[in-house]
Structure 1
Amino acid sequence: MNDSLHNPPLDEHPASNAEKDPENWVSGDDPMTGAQASYLTTLCEQAKIDPPSADLSKAEASIQIDELKQKLGL
């Protein structure tokens, strides 16, 4: 039996759920995770800005992380 018929290579599926807009996340309104808070704090320190409010949602934190990574060239 040829497994490639049932398990095509990943590159044959270019559209990925991992790239969904944070504003469309089902759990986007949940509080940001501890990992997000930690990473956001680290990025803010690198950018020499005050960390944002601790009451961000997952989606808001993700957007801010992406913006800071772009600003820092990461």
Structure 2
Amino acid sequence: MKDEKNAADETRNDTPQEIKGSNTVKDPDEWTTGDEPMTGAQQSYLKTLSAEADVPFDDKLSKAEASKRIDELQHKTGRELSE
């Protein structure tokens, strides 16, 4: 049982608040896959944020661009994570 507990501790999923400021959080401009099309989750969330912010939704954004736009719209709509 001890080994299982240690394995579970090592694979714990951190929330964004827990890793904020960590060197594991990269700037989207440095992502190796940043030029790929945005993910389905990004697209869905951006549609929601765009509607709330009353701004056009751009479905042609890359992963990195979508991440930056999400940050921008979270700030505009008051949905940004508290630090």
Same fold (TM over 0.5): yes
RMSD, aligned CA: 2.1
In the alignment, the residues of structure 1 paired with residue 48 and residue 27 of structure 2 have an alpha-carbon distance, to the nearest angstrom, of 23
Higher Rg of the two aligned structures: 1
Aligned length: 63
Q: Does 1:38 align with 2:44?
A: yes
Matched residue type, 1:31 = P
Matched residue type, 1:15 = S
Q: Which consecutive residues of structure 1, in runs of 5 or more, have no partner in the other structure?
A: none
Residue identity (%): 49
Alignment TM-score, normalising by the size of structure 2: 0.67
In the alignment, the residues of structure 1 paired with residue 53 and residue 33 of structure 2 have an alpha-carbon distance, to the nearest angstrom, of 28
Query: Which aligned segments of 4 or more residues in structure 1 are displaced greater than 6 angstroms?
Result: none
Matches within 5 A, 1:5-44: 15-17=22-24, 19-44=25-50
In the alignment, the residues of structure 2 paired with residue 42 and residue 68 of structure 1 have an alpha-carbon distance, to the nearest angstrom, of 10
